[in-house]
Structure 1
């Protein structure tokens, strides 16, 4: 090799090493978030309404970092807000009333709970009223790739929107029985129906009129239905 080429070759090797050494690393995967709508019915006397909870996005129980809810003249006494929360997280929360002077009034009931998912609809809560837990159980045969959902007239059940319907689950030991539990407002008449989601995204509704159930004032209720 001619001596005159040696500095050029050394420079090329050095630059190659720098390029390799500074190559960007692939970014680690981030947790997927879902938009969760907090909806509560509450009468107020000049107060504003907040939601606080165990997740950092809800202020980690610090009322100074709680998320405000909004309402309008036509929507009152219904208040709502949407918060991005990580999918799969189990979150506890409560509502707070804040007076014009800054006095805070927390709900006195036990902490509310929710599990965040992409399919889960928003909450439909009542101020200081514990929800009733309703388990939807339905016997339904499905084709390969189909899944069963339930939707209804409340925001908790997706307000008849199949995209926001509550997914039900089954297993090899329980099929063709599907089930799923959800918290619903107590002492409320609920209309609902089951639907099947096909692998191509299309939806098959069950036949017949809307089903109707009246939720209990407290505790749990299990429904046992058969696909129509």
Structure 2
């Protein structure tokens, strides 16, 4: 299955964006084996890769610098996409989840485990057989009651 990763991030001189994930092609969570992305238009970074997907695609973005061994990771849990073998190509357009972003305060343990707790929803089943193309939007929005 072909997967196109696209993420927006403004790098400094000597920095490169990488995709790191659970699949062997994405480094098996080893930052030294992560896939290097290529600069696209503006602040976008892109990577086309063929994945042998047997289950969900789990991945995150990291920044490596040529001048140091420092690795900058995203805020939060790895991204997870359900890969349906019906599709030949998956296009993933993401945004960088900055550790310093003020909206991340609402995603910390006190808010998520105490203030915003709610019952688990019933799992949804999606029938991909009805249509040949889908767009799945996963906006990141905090919810206040």
Shorter-chain TM-score: which interval? 0.5 to 0.7
The structure, 1 or 2, with the larger RCO (C-alpha pairs under 8 Å, 6+ apart) is: 2
The aligned counterpart of 2:62 is 96
CA distance in structure 1 between the aligned counterparts of 2:139 and 2:66, rounded to whole angstroms = 29
Aligned: 1:85 with 2:51: yes
Which runs of 5 or more structure 1 residues have no equivalent in the other structure?
Answer: 1-33, 138-145, 150-164, 168-181, 187-216, 220-228
**Local SS of the residue matching 2:32:** helix
Q: Are 1:125 and 1:185, in contact at CA under 8 Å, matched by a contact in 2?
A: no
The aligned counterpart of 2:79 is 112
**Local SS of the residue matching 1:60:** coil
The 10-residue stretch of structure 1 (61-70 or 78-87) with the greater mean CA deviation from structure 2? 78-87
CA distance in structure 2 between the aligned counterparts of 1:56 and 1:67, rounded to whole angstroms = 10
Aligned: 1:184 with 2:138: yes
Rg larger in structure: 1
Cα RMSD after superposing both structures = 2.7
Q: Are 1:50 and 1:69, in contact at CA under 8 Å, matched by a contact in 2?
A: yes
The aligned counterpart of 2:131 is 148
Which runs of 5 or more structure 2 residues have no equivalent in the other structure?
Answer: 99-103, 105-123
TM-score scaled to structure 1, two decimals? 0.43
Change (3 A) 1:58 1:126: same
Mapping 1:120-159, distance limit 5 Å: 121-128=90-97, 147-148=130-131
CA distance in structure 2 between the aligned counterparts of 1:183 and 1:57, rounded to whole angstroms = 25
TM-score scaled to structure 2, two decimals? 0.66
The Cα of 1:183 is off from its aligned counterpart by 4.2
Out of 30, 44, 54, the residue aligned to residue 22 of structure 2 is 54
> How many residues end up aligned between the 2 structures?
112
The aligned counterpart of 1:68 is 36
**Local SS of the residue matching 2:97:** coil
